[in-house]
Structure 1
């Protein structure tokens, strides 16, 4: 991967629907080599897919929270993920070193909805403790 590939990735990250001609102009190549580079980045797994950026406030789910999760030493974190991945409110799970064992990123409609989701997480039977933090503002790169 060279500097041109990195610039292509940066441009696609900003707008995955950016026309090839515009990317080509930005990196100083014609559209054909840019297309080949993108196909290679896809084939090698550097680009895993494309996604839409959703305005969740307009879609109705406005509250983001992080829930710290502690599990007993007898539990397998993979089994917990299998339980939690079925919950649409759980966007991501990060296993982390130290205390807590995992961090969940949640998106919900309200504080009441958040309480219901946290209760469902606790009821999996795999949790010994949680701590939830509500996001007040968010910045993205």
Structure 2
């Protein structure tokens, strides 16, 4: 990866719908060269996909929580991912070091909706218990590189 690839990645992070001309301008390339480089970044897996970032306010989901997940036994990360992936309120999930097995970020319409979603997490096979912290205000949010 060189500085041109990094410029391309920064451009599509800012706007996943950027044209090849816009990407090329940001990276100092022609549109056709920008397309070839972008295609190569996708083919090698450096860029895994393009997505829309939906404002939670548009869904009227205003309640966010961080939830520590404690599992029974020793499930693999793949087992835990499979248990959580069908719960739409889980918007981010990571295995972590420390006492908890995983940390998840959840988003819901309100406290009642969040409580039901946490109950669904608790009812999945590997999950033994959870501990939750409700977000009061978001101080900083940056796109991941």
Q: Is TM more than 0.5 here?
A: yes
Query: 2: distance between equivalents of 1:28 and 1:80?
Result: 43
Query: 1: distance between equivalents of 2:52 and 2:124?
Result: 31
The residue matched to 1:53 in structure 2 has which SS? coil
Change (3 A) 1:30 1:76: same
Instruction: Specify the alignment match of 1:137 in structure 2.
Output: 138
Instruction: Specify the alignment match of 1:30 in structure 2.
Output: 30
For the pair 1:76 / 2:64, whether they are aligned, the reply is: no
Deviations 1:69-93 (A, max 9, x none): 1113x24144333222121111222
> Structure 1 runs of 4+ off > 6 angstroms?
none
Counting only pairs closer than 5 Å after superposition, residues 95-134 of structure 1 correspond to structure 2 as 95-134=95-134
Change (3 A) 1:84 1:27: closer
- Checking the alignment, whether the CA contact within 8 Å between 2:7 and 2:27 is kept in structure 1 is yes
Aligned alpha-carbon RMSD (Å): 1.6
The residue matched to 2:103 in structure 1 has which SS? strand
Query: 1: distance between equivalents of 2:124 and 2:25?
Result: 52
Give the structure-1-normalised TM-score.
0.89
For these two proteins, the number of residue pairs brought into alignment is 140
Structure 1: gaps spanning 5 or more residues: none
Query: 2: distance between equivalents of 1:118 and 1:8?
Result: 39
- Checking the alignment, whether the CA contact within 8 Å between 2:66 and 2:132 is kept in structure 1 is yes
Give the structure-2-normalised TM-score.
0.87
Deviations 1:4-23 (A, max 9, x none): 11011001100011121122
The residue matched to 1:128 in structure 2 has which SS? strand
Structure 2: gaps spanning 5 or more residues: none
Instruction: Specify the alignment match of 2:5 in structure 1.
Output: 5
Cα deviation, residue 139, structure 1? 2.4
